[in-house]
Amino acid sequence: MNNKTHASGVGNIIGYVIGLILTFAAAWLVLKSSLATSMKWTIISIFAIIQAGLQLFMFMHMSEGEDRDTKVVHTIYAIFMGIVVVFGSIWVMTAGHPIG
Question: Residue 54: which of 100, 13, 83 has the closest Cα?
Answer: 13
With respect to residue 99, please indicate whether it lies within any of the assigned structural domains: no
Q: Which residue has the higher pLDDT, 65 or 88?
A: 88
With respect to residue 56, please indicate whether it lies within any of the assigned structural domains: yes
Helices 37-54 and 10-32, axial angle in degrees (round to 10): 170
Q: Which domain holds residue 37?
A: 3-94
Q: Where are the alpha helices (DSSP H) in 9-99?
A: 10-32, 37-54, 68-94
With respect to residue 61, please indicate whether it lies within any of the assigned structural domains: yes
pTM above 0.85?
A: no
Model confidence at 5: pLDDT above 60: no
Model confidence at 60: pLDDT above 60: yes
With respect to residue 10, please indicate whether it lies within any of the assigned structural domains: yes
Q: How many domains does the chain have?
A: 1
**pLDDT (tens digit, 9 = 90+) per residue, 12-45?**
888 889 999 999 999 998 888 888 888 988 999 9
Taking residues 37-65, report their average pLDDT.
Answer: 85
With respect to residue 66, please indicate whether it lies within any of the assigned structural domains: yes
